[in-house]
Amino acid sequence: MSATAILANGRVLRYSFHERLVHWLAGFSYVYLLLTGLAFWSPWLFWIAVVLGGPTASRELHPWVGLIFVFATLLMYRMWSRQMHETESDKEFWRALGHYVRNEDELVPSADRFNAGQKLLFWGFLWCGILLLLSGLILWFPHLIPWSLRYLRYIAVIVHPAAALLTIGLFIIHVYMGTAMERGAFGSVIRGDVSTGWAKRYHRVWYEHLLRDAAARK
């Protein structure tokens, strides 16, 4: 059972409708969390909260949108976790990272459905999401933490921004690669399909697997 397949028009379905929907649920909720979070991070960015409907509204909605983001992340975990386990070729990918960065893609080991960078993104967001959820629950209701447990609040005010900063690093690279750097990738998460050339260059193992599937079905 695979969500992806080679389409009749010769293109390759990379992300199903369900996957794209979950991706953008996470994406839009993350952007809201990022913007309101940045507003509370620095006085110089506080205007963002004003633009987004007022700082009080931002404070009220940020935790709820956080729950939506966590929900989307859990759905992603259910969809993708089995395809995100590290393999030998991932280690080779990291060794060949320089080639990948310099766009020498023919020197990069071929990847399965997800390459090592995508796996890093996935697990990074998952673990940071868990940390953000736990610390966020404390920051949601700081007044319910008794004085004797105040160290929980101290941990939360460090963990929440620190984990958020890690996700921002991942997010910057993810958005850059998905929109500007890797041409063809953005369409895969909008319309869902990629060209065979794209599939073969960046995810040859996955593509060949699809070919075998298609041949077996005939």
Partner 1 sequence: MSQATLEIRAISGHSGSVPGAGVRREFDVCKLIDTTTCIGCKACEVACLEWNGLSFSETVFNNSYQTMPETQWNYWNLIKFNEHEREDGTLQLLMRKDQCMHCEEPGCLIACPADGAIVQYVNGIVDFQQDHCIGCGYCVTGCPFNIPKFSPTARKVFKCTLCVDRVTQGLEPACIKACPTGCLHFGTKPDMKALAETRAKQLREYSGFENAGVYDPPGVKGTHVIYVLHDASNPELYGGLPKDPHVPWAVSFWKKPLKWIGNIAMIGGLLGVFAHYLRFGPKIEPADEETPRQGGAAPRTGTRDPGGRP
Provide the binding-site residues for partner 1, judged by CB under 8 A: 6-12, 39-44, 46, 49, 55-56, 58-60, 101-103, 105, 139, 141-143, 147, 150, 153-158, 161-162, 165, 168-169, 172-173, 176, 180-184, 187, 195-198, 200-201, 211, 214-215, 218
Residue 191 and residue 17: Cα distance in Å, rounded? 8
What CA–CA distance (Å, rounded) separates 169 from 124? 10
Q: Which two tokens stand for residue 63?
A: 């935790």
Nearer Cβ to partner 1 (82/102):
102
In sequence order, what are the beta bridge partners of 5?
13
Rounded least distance, CB 185 to partner 1, Å:
9
CB of 77 to partner 1, least distance (A): 25
Nearer to partner 1, 153 or 209 (CB): 153
Closest CA to 167 of 119, 132, 117: 132
Residues 136, 66 contacting (CB under 8 angstroms): yes
Judged by beta carbon, residue 88 or residue 106, the one nearer partner 1 is 106
> Measured from the CB atom, is 130 or 149 closer to partner 1?
149
Minimum distance between the CB of residue 121 and partner 1, rounded to whole angstroms? 14
Comparing CA positions, the residue from 212, 211, 213, 187 lying closest to residue 198 is 187
**Minimum distance, C-beta of residue 51 to partner 1, in the bound complex (Å):** 14
105 in Cβ contact with 202 (< 8 Å)? yes
Q: Which is closer to partner 1, CB of 22 or CB of 49?
A: 49
Instruction: State the Cα–Cα distance between residues 26 and 43, nearest whole angstrom.
Output: 26
